[in-house]
Structure 1
Amino acid sequence: MTPRLILLKIYNKFYVFFYNKSKYYIDLIRGNTHINFNIPIIKTSYINIKELNLSNIDPDVADYLSKMYIQHKFDLLGSGWVKNSYDSAALGLERYKYDMNVAAPASAPEGYEPIDWQKDFKSGFRWSEKKWYKDQRIAHKPGSDIKVPWELARFQHLPQLAIFTMADPSLKEQNLKEFKNQILDFIRNNPPRIGVNWTCTMDVGIRVANMLAAYDMFCQMDGGGILDQNFKQTLSNSVYEHALHIVNNLEYSPHLTSNHYLSDIAGLLQACAYLDGGGEIDAWLAFALQEITCEMKKEFYEDGGNFESSTSYHRLSGELMAYSVALILGLKSDKISSLQNYDAKLWRKKPKLLPPEEQEFKILDGQIALPQWFVDRLYKIGRFTADITKPNGEVPQFGDNDSGRFFKFSPNGEFLSSEQAARKYLNLSGFAGGGEPFWDENILNHSALISFMGGIFDDEIFKNDMRFERSFVRSLAGRTLQVSDKTYKSLIISGVKFGELSHRKSIEFKIPNSQEIKKIFYPDSGIFIFKSNKFYLAICATPLGQNGHGGHTHNDKLGYELWINGRDIARDPGTYLYTPIPDRRNEFRSVKAHNVPIIGDLEQNSWGEGAIGLFGMFAECRCEVADFGENFISLAAEYKGVKIIRKFEIKEDGLEIVDMANREFYYSKFELYSNGYGKLSRIGALNE
């Protein structure tokens, strides 16, 4: 760096430090960080509940989950169905367990027990409700997981309460009151910029979107005035505070934006669509729409896959895109008019807000027209998920899986007994459900995203049993989009030549005869699929991800998932945890956790030491297509002097996998398996 650039970086560091300190002291001196004025009460509605298809909502599940949420029992990130209150005891995370309970606030409504929003109710660790949001430490104590309070405070259970109320009107009064009380509980005990739930802007964006979706639906069912004017004013103020927080805390970098930034702007879009327009709100709305368009090009490949190199993060980012597009298509006429004459100078953050005439989106005949390349790529996002889905409805688990969602509308899973759940999942050791049923969410079923896309595109590939999501998006958007390019991207052979590889091993599997096996290749995403009704093979050769940063990538290159005739034969082990137990994080993303050729103790890509290394890798492995044909594909991997070619060939009665390397190699037998963040079982347990 030049001396001038070094001085500029030092100046910026000092500027940010003193700016944050000044904001910190202002918030502490004020004592109350809520806005000191009332914004117009939100009266806009985008969701017509009469158009929603509830036929896939099981009334037994609706009744069960409503009861759990009202009792403040949540199963989040592997917690099991446990109560979160100020005096609840934690089950513990592996060997870590904390008792940090404090007295509950005294101002709760009669009959309502407050939720402890600052507590990781898995380990029992509690963050301070008095600390400024930027002073909260993420990896605080071993076993503590900040994602747990963040996940609860996303409020993704509140739209479900509204949906369950529509499915079973007898639940209306209790669910309306619970929605109101939880919103007021959160607002009262999580003032802006104070406590753990303002630390991550991504979660602020997801939260405000879920607040608004639930509010929109509940308002249409509230014939008795449970949601009174005082409540509506309080909620409307909070929506503005959420939007303001997002604007002032964008997770933006000119070098890298990811699902976090996409969540920020998706939440901002939702808030601005509902808030009364004018001035800054119009500029915020225009910025959100501008950045949704920009992030499509940055975060999604031309073939439709996501640049995080994770099938689960593809689902999260795909939902963010699909719902944002649906809302953009359904924006009210006054919002559309504002996009033609907003004042770009009112936006003083980075990146820059372009004036109306320079935007890629256009206003035609009173409607927003998105660029055709954008529409085509959105379609391919949905098709990617449909294509990678196994016949059993689940997706392969390549890369990280933190169970992240934008909205969780239709419940997706199965009932177990508490005893079955405790036997199935090692993380529930010691769990006592009191004989109650245990709803086990299927996090690997991504059919909701496919259904979302069915609300935007009339295409058979997006029709499935998740009918609510399709009707919700169709109600929101009010119209569908037309695709101009449905072609698959061509696969190009790299032409890599390793010469003679002296070490060779092969693996064979029997497959059903007379199967018409279709091959589907995603070259940008590095995922290659062979599938039929009774056979499924997905092969991983994903890029490092995040433009080479590798934050959510695993050392799974040349790995595969195999499903034959109704049974999983080989599965990626998943993720399990991030920061609570760093050794577990590294164990699950290591080469030894995957069904790939292993050379000594070498990792395909190395990572840094300590907490900073948990979300990044060094780009050391090159993985490319060496050759392919009608019934085979060969992939080459090269790293740290290692050269490997792995060939997958489908023959008349079987699959043969041949590995060749320039050094002696072996296969590891990893016994652990995680089908969702925080969930832990043993290989084979989920097939029993």
Structure 2
Amino acid sequence: MNIKTILSKPLPVVWYRFVQLVKLKMYVKTKFWQKIVPKIHQEVSKSKETWKAKSLLFATDFKASEIHQALQQQTILDAEHIMNGNISVFDVEYRFTQPISWHTDWRADYEWKNKYFKSYSFYEKNKAKEFDVKFPWELSRLSFLIPVARAYQLEEKATQLAYIQSILADWKVKNPIGFSVNWYPMEVSVRTINLIQLREILLEAANTDEVVNLLNKILLLHGIFLWRNVEYTDVRGNHYSANLTALLLLGSVFKDFYSEAKTWYNYAVKHTEKEFHLQFIKDGVNFEKSIPYHRLVVEFYLISFLVMQRAGLKIKENTLQILKNTCEFTRDVTKPDQLTPIIGDNDSASVLQNDQVSLNDHTNMLQLASVFFQDKRLNISKEKYHSVYEIFGTEAVKNLSSTSQDTFASYHYKDGGFITVKDAQNYFITDVGEVGMKGRGGHGHNDLFSFELMFDKENIIVDPGCYTYTGDLALKTKMKSTAYHNGLQVDDEEMAPMVGNWGISDVAQPFEVSCEASEEKVVISGKHAGYQRLEDAVTHKRRFEIDKSGFKMSCIDEIDCESSHKITRNLHFNEKAVLEIKENVIFIKNNKASSKITVDNATTVRIENYTLSYNYGSKVTAQKVVLETEITGKSSLQFIIEKEND
């Protein structure tokens, strides 16, 4: 954050960030970062016994040998795969040879040379190569070491422990504190949470003192750095939540070993519960309005409140109820195929990503919540995940049961701004809320009244997702735009203008939103004011009707205006869909399913290609249908999507 940005904030934030900036400059001038490394090395090494205090995140009665046999076997296979150089990054497997180049986007063969972490700039336009710092960042989060540690718990092979030690030692040497591209507060926070999990696993295994000592050194340096770079500002998001969780875990482990760690712990305890209420709406939806980020931040607070409770700290009942609401929201937006829709930004981040599930499968988090709240309705997976054994112990998992949704139901998160309708095979979701982050739209998109639709567990209409951040700024902006969602656009204008690389202006405010359910169907309607800024003010009202029988969906758009306008409605399909247009009907072949879309006669229909992304950094080409209509004055447009009879 530069001086200009700091000065635009409220006075307390200006003062906090100014003092932080001055201190950081002093640390560089006095070579504080270089001097702290030997001090920490000496502090850890002089101790007669390895420091083995735990964070309280993992259960005391967990035994790796007691998890079910299939999971044990899969763990061993995963570890062998990783040790052979096959590491998954954003759900794509890459081949790495040692020593690993920690500062390189290997896809573009681009390297960030080591220098002071404040010296980097990532927002370059018109790159010759599509390099993206998120890739070395993700690799350096070091979560791939966790399956190897789990395998060592089971087999105690020297090669497994040696692999972990060599990776950690190499990373530490190649990434001197404060002086590599991997020293950013958010990255330090997430890596800390991963390394704490790694350390907890190793503490339950034999002959690990040397590796644990190495981890102690690395983690203490992470705490020292993070405490001096807390991402505090006026409207704080997932970064600050990550900071708090990491400081809490670090403080839990080291507060009786390293005096400054008491300060980290006390700060996290003081601010965590208060911050939780600032970042989650009462009905449980995260205020950034991104479903992937919602999962990540729920993970942070689920971990934090669990550790605080185990430390004997009392969490308010209201806090726990809202935390439960956050998990119910995740359950309610989960599709029949157990994946979640990608609404808003998606950087595929998770600190519980070693449960052999895809990054868009949030059921492992729900399983943890099910045990935490002793509510089986939150667990929708029949599989028992590794994380639930580790965090709650073997006894707690023995009687774990799951539930499934077999009936037609709708869920309206009025404050959070989402509505879902689903049964055992079919699914619909629409965004009916503001842009997020208190109107700043940091991780939100121009997707008001956009929707996703699934028939018979096959995606029909999808959100295009979020392919990249810094890799291709033009594509990043495009994928946040109105035209890249399944909404309605007037005169090729954005429903809300973009602001810089991240923001969206707060003009597309929804109003008169309702969701009415009967025995036969669910009717959803709402208006927004995004296009009222045009010379001829336009008000858009959209109404969805979803029939219980057959899950037929009708979409009626009412445009209130006086002059002539071009109306564009976009419908994005999954990459496997085969489309055919016959007059005003679009026929869709999608694996085994067939469906059709009937469009009003005033509209022209064409097919275009677009970029679809299911995970960060991954993209495929898919097709979308563009519906264009020239209107004059008040108008009503409609399309119907339904299953086609065989």
Alignment deviations for residues 1-23 of structure 1 (CA, whole Å, 9 cap, x no partner): 9xx999x9999998766544332
Name the residue aligned to 1:191: 176
Q: Of the candidates 296, 299, 315, which is equivalent to residue 319 of structure 1?
A: 299
1:388 aligns with 2:372: no
Q: Tell me, what secondary structure is at the counterpart of 1:472?
A: helix
Alignment deviations for residues 441-484 of structure 1 (CA, whole Å, 9 cap, x no partner): x22111111012123111121222243333333249999xxxxx
1:470 aligns with 2:388: yes
Q: Of the candidates 547, 556, 567, which is equivalent to residue 665 of structure 1?
A: 567
Deviation at 1:49, TM superposition (A): 6.4
Contact 1:625 1:633 in 2 (8 A): no
Give the Cα separation in 1 of the matches to 2:307 and 2:30: 36
Q: Of the candidates 10, 26, 29, which is equivalent to residue 25 of structure 1?
A: 29
Given the two structures, how large is their TM-score scaled by the length of structure 1?
A: 0.73
Pair 1:458–1:303, CA change in 2 (3 A): same
Q: Tell me, what secondary structure is at the counterpart of 1:35?
A: helix
Given the two structures, how large is their TM-score scaled by the length of structure 2?
A: 0.78
Pair 1:157–1:30, CA change in 2 (3 A): closer
Q: Of the candidates 216, 221, 246, which is equivalent to residue 267 of structure 1?
A: 246
Give the Cα separation in 2 of the matches to 1:567 and 1:585: 27
Contact 2:464 2:484 in 1 (8 A): yes
Deviation at 1:126, TM superposition (A): 0.8
Name the residue aligned to 1:571: 462
Name the residue aligned to 2:198: 214
Contact 2:63 2:394 in 1 (8 A): no
Contact 1:674 1:680 in 2 (8 A): yes
* AA of the residue aligned to 2:25: K
1:605 aligns with 2:496: yes
Deviation at 1:543, TM superposition (A): 1.9
Give the Cα separation in 2 of the matches to 1:632 and 1:157: 46
Name the residue aligned to 2:145: 158
Alignment deviations for residues 348-394 of structure 1 (CA, whole Å, 9 cap, x no partner): xxxxxxxxxxxxxxxxxxx3211111111111111111111111101
Contact 1:84 1:121 in 2 (8 A): no
Pair 1:58–1:25, CA change in 2 (3 A): same
Q: Tell me, what secondary structure is at the counterpart of 1:547?
A: coil
Q: Tell me, what secondary structure is at the counterpart of 1:621?
A: coil
Structure 1: gaps spanning 5 or more residues: 86-112, 332-366, 413-441, 480-514
Name the residue aligned to 1:521: 412
Name the residue aligned to 2:51: 42
The answer to which of 174-183 and 549-558 deviates more is 174-183
Give the Cα separation in 2 of the matches to 1:246 and 1:477: 36
Contact 1:648 1:656 in 2 (8 A): yes
Give the Cα separation in 2 of the matches to 1:195 and 1:476: 40
Give the Cα separation in 1 of the matches to 2:334 and 2:513: 25
Alignment deviations for residues 293-341 of structure 1 (CA, whole Å, 9 cap, x no partner): 012101111001101100000000011111112222223xxxxxxxxxx
Name the residue aligned to 1:82: 94
1:678 aligns with 2:576: no
Name the residue aligned to 2:279: 299
Q: Tell me, what secondary structure is at the counterpart of 2:199?
A: helix
Deviation at 1:529, TM superposition (A): 1.0
Name the residue aligned to 1:622: 509
Alignment deviations for residues 179-226 of structure 1 (CA, whole Å, 9 cap, x no partner): 11111111122121111111x21111111221121122123222xx3x
Contact 1:559 1:595 in 2 (8 A): yes
Highest relative contact order (Cα 8 Å, sep 6+), 1 or 2?
Answer: 1
Alignment deviations for residues 138-196 of structure 1 (CA, whole Å, 9 cap, x no partner): 23572221111111111111222223444xx3473322211111111111221211111
Contact 1:35 1:237 in 2 (8 A): no
Give the Cα separation in 1 of the matches to 2:467 and 2:514: 34
Contact 2:346 2:466 in 1 (8 A): yes
Q: Tell me, what secondary structure is at the counterpart of 1:665?
A: strand
Contact 1:55 1:468 in 2 (8 A): no
> How do residues 392-541 of structure 1 correspond to structure 2 at under 5 angstroms?
392-412=337-357, 442-463=358-379, 464=381, 465-475=383-393, 516-541=407-432
Q: Of the candidates 201, 222, 238, which is equivalent to residue 218 of structure 2?
A: 238
Contact 1:56 1:467 in 2 (8 A): no
1:377 aligns with 2:322: yes
Name the residue aligned to 1:121: 106
Alignment deviations for residues 619-653 of structure 1 (CA, whole Å, 9 cap, x no partner): 12111344432221101122132311111112355
Q: Tell me, what secondary structure is at the counterpart of 1:646?
A: strand
* AA of the residue aligned to 2:236: T
Q: Tell me, what secondary structure is at the counterpart of 1:38?
A: helix
* AA of the residue aligned to 1:26: T
Deviation at 1:615, TM superposition (A): 1.4
Name the residue aligned to 2:229: 249
Structure 2: gaps spanning 5 or more residues: 398-405, 533-537, 573-609, 625-646
* AA of the residue aligned to 2:506: A
Alignment deviations for residues 590-638 of structure 1 (CA, whole Å, 9 cap, x no partner): 1111111121211112113xxxx22111112111344432221101122
Contact 2:352 2:365 in 1 (8 A): no
Pair 1:540–1:65, CA change in 2 (3 A): same
Contact 1:330 1:478 in 2 (8 A): no
Give the Cα separation in 2 of the matches to 1:295 and 1:277: 26
Of Structure 1 and Structure 2, which has the larger fraction of its residues in strand? 2
Contact 2:52 2:203 in 1 (8 A): no
The answer to which of 295-304 and 142-151 deviates more is 142-151
Name the residue aligned to 1:557: 448
1:643 aligns with 2:534: no
Give the Cα separation in 1 of the matches to 2:304 and 2:410: 32
Pair 1:176–1:234, CA change in 2 (3 A): closer
The number of equivalent residue pairs is 543
Q: Of the candidates 179, 182, 185, which is equivalent to residue 167 of structure 2?
A: 182
* AA of the residue aligned to 2:147: Q
Pair 1:376–1:17, CA change in 2 (3 A): closer
Q: Of the candidates 621, 632, 639, which is equivalent to residue 523 of structure 2?
A: 632
Contact 2:292 2:342 in 1 (8 A): yes
Give the Cα separation in 2 of the matches to 1:476 and 1:548: 44
Pair 1:260–1:478, CA change in 2 (3 A): farther
Contact 1:548 1:619 in 2 (8 A): yes
> How do residues 33-72 of structure 1 correspond to structure 2 at under 5 angstroms?
33-36=37-40, 37-39=42-44, 41-45=50-54, 46=56, 47=58, 48=60, 50-51=62-63, 54-55=67-68, 58=71, 61-72=74-85
Pair 1:205–1:564, CA change in 2 (3 A): same
Pair 1:386–1:57, CA change in 2 (3 A): farther
Contact 1:537 1:561 in 2 (8 A): yes
Q: Tell me, what secondary structure is at the counterpart of 2:250?
A: helix
* AA of the residue aligned to 2:280: F
Pair 1:16–1:311, CA change in 2 (3 A): closer
* AA of the residue aligned to 1:38: E
The answer to which of 673-682 and 56-65 deviates more is 56-65
Give the Cα separation in 2 of the matches to 1:298 and 1:125: 39
Identity of aligned residues (%): 22
Pair 1:532–1:156, CA change in 2 (3 A): same
Give the Cα separation in 1 of the matches to 2:465 and 2:202: 37
Give the Cα separation in 2 of the matches to 1:462 and 1:445: 14
Name the residue aligned to 2:476: 585
Pair 1:675–1:202, CA change in 2 (3 A): same
